[in-house]
Each structure stands twice: as C-alpha cells, then as structure tokens.
Amino acid sequence: MELRRSHLREYLVLHTVGRIDHQTSAEFQAELLSAVAEGGADLILDFSGVEYISSAGLSALMTASRHKPRDRRIGVAGLNAVVQEIFTISRFHRIFPLFASVDAAVRDWENSGAAVDGPGPFGVRFWGTRGSLPAPLGHSAVRAKVREALLAAYQRGTPVPEAIEAFIDQELPFSVRSTFGGNTSCVEIVTGGAEYILCDLGTGVREFGNHVLGQRGPDAKGCYNVFMSHMHWDHIMGFPFFMPAYIPGNTIRIHGCHKGLREAIMRQQSDPCFPVNFAALGATIEFVELEPGAAYSVGGLSVCAIKQFHSGDTYGYRFSRGGKAIVYSTDCEHKTGSIDASYPFIEFYRDADLLIFDAMYSLADAISVKADWGHSSNIVAVELAQMAGVKRLALFHHEPVFDDGMIERVLGETVRFEELSRSGHKVEVLSAYDGLEIFL
Ligand SMILES: [Zn+2]
Ligand SMILES: [Zn+2]
C-alpha cells in the first residue's frame, strides 16, 4: 500500500493505493490520524487507487472520524465499484460523504457553503401531518391495499409491465396506492435559502433531519429555525430523534410565544423519559420568544404570530415573501358562533396562497362530544378560507383513528362542501400527507 499527501486549494488530500486490510490498516490509520491532527483543512481521501477495503480498514476510518476536530470534514472520493459496495453494505456511506472524484468533492463542498437567502422556490414540504399521536400503517391495512390494487387490476384487465406505473398513478385512488402517513406535526417552509425553517417538532422531524444529513453529509453545518405552535407532546416528541441536534456546529433556534419552551423541550429529554439528556446535545440550541402580532424577519421571510384557542394556548404563523404567504394554523378550536367579518383570523389568513389548517374533526363532533378539545372541523376550515380569500386550503392534523380511506373520504366531502358554500372565488382544497410538497 502507498500513501501520499497533497493540497488542493484549502483541502488536504490523502492518496491511497493498494489494499487496505488487516496487514496495512495500522499504517493507514496512523497516516489518517496524523492528517486529521494537522490543523485546519478538511480532508479528502482519494480512493481512486484503492482496490479493496476490509473491516480493519473501515475501523481505521471510523477511528479517524472520531478523532477529527468537530468542525472538520472527511470525504471519500473515487471509489471503485467493489469498495463503493462495501461502504454501502457496512453503512459507512451514511457516515462519510462519497464523491465520484476529488474534484467533485471540492466542487460540492465549495457550493454547500455558497447558498444565500432566497429568492429560491417558496413552498412547503410536509414531514408529519397526523394529529395527537403517531399512527403507523398496520399489516392488515397494507394487505387491504394490496387486495384493492389486485382487484382493480383484475377488473380492468391486468396491465402490461410497462403500463403498471401509469395504472398505479392514474387508476388507483390515493388511499390504495399510497398513504397519508402517520408522523405527527412537522412542516418545512422551503425558501431555497441557507437556513432551514420548520413548524413544530412532531415525529416528522426525524425524517426531515435524516433527509438533510443524507443530502448534505453529516459534517455539513446548518441553521434550523423552528416555530412552535405549542408544546403538547405530539408537537415536540420528534426532537430527541432529530439527528442535527446531536452534531456540534449546527444551530437550532426554537421560536415561540410561550414562556416555557425551553423547560418543555428539556423535560422530555431527562430521566427517566429519555437516555440522552438535553445538556448532552452537541448543537447550539437557542430559544427565541416572540410577541404575537409583531413582524419578524427570519431566513429571508417575514413572520408574524397569532394567538389561538387551545388548551394552554397555541400560536399560528404567517410566513410571507414577495407578496406570497403561507399560514400554518394548527391546534385551534374556532367556535362557530364567533366567526363574522371582524373575526381576527380572517385578517390573519387574508389572501394566503396556502393555509395549513387543523381540520381534525367533523363539525358534528367538534361542537358536541369533542367541544372544547381544542380542534376544528373541515366545514369551519372551508368557511374561514372562503371569507379570507385563501387560494389553497390544506387539511392537516389528521385524526389518528382515521385510516387512509376515511381521510380521502373527508377530503372528497370537503371539496364538495366548498362547491356548495362558494359564493365568490374558489378555494382549492387538498389533504396534506407526509411527503407532500407544494410550491407557490
Ligand atoms: Zn396537536
Ligand atoms: Zn395540542
């Protein structure tokens, strides 16, 4: 095995040729440790000459990764097909960003720091849309979907293999071909800027964090702005599994209008509820208290909060940029008797391009058995959206008892109610699902 170092711009490159196995791994590890100790530069491992890497070689890599300063990156470039496969099987590709070549690594790292605040695409990505409790699909629900799909294919005449994708997308209802998902509230406001913006920390934030790490590599540093509706469990329970919180160099700013934000987040990450104490998180975590009604500028957006009706209060947020607006308004019980033209939410929702709205219950339930439970109905959602001139209404915070078929049925009924009650412009109604992206 041969080892050689070079410098490319501000990066240190370690070129390795030969096999990295139990015979050569000690020498490889010593060179790696010396390279990471040599202050300053990020390290690119040029593997274009590496024929094979064994578990001993991978262990050397892991040791180097653990010894490197926290603000430095190690990337691996130019892997042959076999070495790449070994990285995948061992899951090392999740720890070390892999690049086609040293030049590709340099390009990627230089671009990753170059992002600026807007004007990129402005929209949302839903990571968790379920209310109150995570609601994973069970085996019988999956089986029922398979059965429905097979039955539909049989009735139509089984499609040829090339036509299967079109058959799935065009002929199967959403509730059969897909799922609304089971993660609790977490919505990303996409700006195309350098800072991330999120609403709430339900279980959807776990997938959001893993998605970012998968895209940018574990060593890329980021700033995450979170806007909290409130601290009920379904809105904070994803945070202990939000991997960027464990990575030094990341900044997480948790914004909200409640006084006890820090205590609520800390309490769920303390004995005996969770093994990793809040104080042990590597990221810098800040809490920012906002005033409802005041305008703030965060991540290239203007943000404003409104106080809502829910046990312990909740807050809705209006995000706007360049004349476009997205409103996140969940966990709020709008009492039907109090809604008229002077109702403050009409102004807050006014002309929004997208209104994300808690429509957890039917109207019958919301004003009888579930009155004062803190949630609203699809009927009130449509009426408010119409009065405020909202363009698109996303039903959100789905009842965990509802299966995909039921949520789809509620959506169909809500679209119909919008037609029946429309007196002016049309409100486009949709039902949010985990994974849905909407760009304005
Ligand atoms: Zn909730
Ligand atoms: Zn709540």
CA gap 318, 326 in Å, rounded = 6
- Cβ atoms of 317 and 292 within 8 Å: the answer is no
How far is it, in rounded angstroms, from Cα 62 to Cα 125? 34
If you measure from the C-alpha of residue 234 to the centroid of ligand 1, how many angstroms do you get, rounded to a whole number?
5
251-256: strand order across its sheet: 284-289, 251-256, 223-227, 195-199, 186-190, 123-128, 437-439
Q: How far is the CA of 435 from the centre of ligand 1 (A)?
A: 19
**pLDDT tens for each residue of 386-401:** 999 999 999 999 999 9
* Ligand 1 geometric centre to CA of 334 (Å): 15
Closest alpha carbon to 96 in 30, 14, 207 = 14
Flag whether pLDDT at 298 surpasses 50.
yes
pLDDT computed for residue 116 by the predictor:
45
Among all bound ligands, the one having the nearest atom to the CA of 313 is: 2
Distance CA 320, CA 351 (A): 11
pLDDT of residue 117: 44
pLDDT digits (tens, 9 = 90+) for 202-261: 999 999 999 999 988 887 889 999 999 999 999 999 999 999 999 999 999 999 999 999
- For residue 170, the tally of other CB atoms under 10 A from its CB is 9
Extract the tokens encoding 282: 């590597």
What distance in angstroms lies between residue 63's CA and the mean position of ligand 2's atoms?
44
Going from the Cα of 100 to the center of ligand 2, the distance in angstroms, rounded, reads 47
| All structural domains of the chain | 2-112 (3.30.750.24), 123-132+181-439 (3.60.15.10), 139-177 (no CATH)
The torsion defined by the Cα of 306, 241, 178 and 161, in degrees rounded to 10, comes to 140
The chain-wide mean pLDDT, for the chain, equals 93
Distance 33 CA to ligand 1 centre (A): 48
Left, alpha or beta for 266 (phi > 0: left; psi -120 to 50: alpha)? alpha
Which of 66-70, 90-94, 286-290, 369-373 is most confident? 286-290
Indicate the pLDDT class of residue 119, thresholds 50, 70 and 90. low
